Amino acid sequence: MLTLNDLGFIRCVKESETSSVFQVSLQGRLCLMKVVSVSTPGPRHLHHLPNCP
């Protein structure tokens, strides 16, 4: 499982009511990660987009 300590930087590139997309530096590689909003309390769900390791 990833933590914020694994990221070199993080920047929000797109935001909507249902999700946000972030550009991140992960282990020296640039990646996009999508965070899906959920209507129930609890942790957010991270989804690696195709360019992530």
| pLDDT score of 47 | 56
Please report, for residues 23, 42, 46, the alpha-carbon distance to residue 39 in angstroms, rounded to integers and kept in the order given.
24, 9, 15
1-53: pLDDT as tens digits: 667 777 788 899 998 888 889 998 887 888 888 888 766 566 655 555 555 54
pTM (global) more than 0.85: no
| pLDDT score of 26 | 80
| pLDDT score of 16 | 87
| pLDDT score of 41 | 60
Among 26, 28, 22, which Cα is nearest to 3's?
Answer: 26
Lookup: tokens for 10: 């993080």
In whole angstroms, what is the distance from residue 10 CA to residue 40 CA? 25
Cross-strand pairs, 45? 36
Which DSSP string do the residues of 9-31 spell out, in sequence order? EEEEEEE-SSEEEEEEEETTEEE
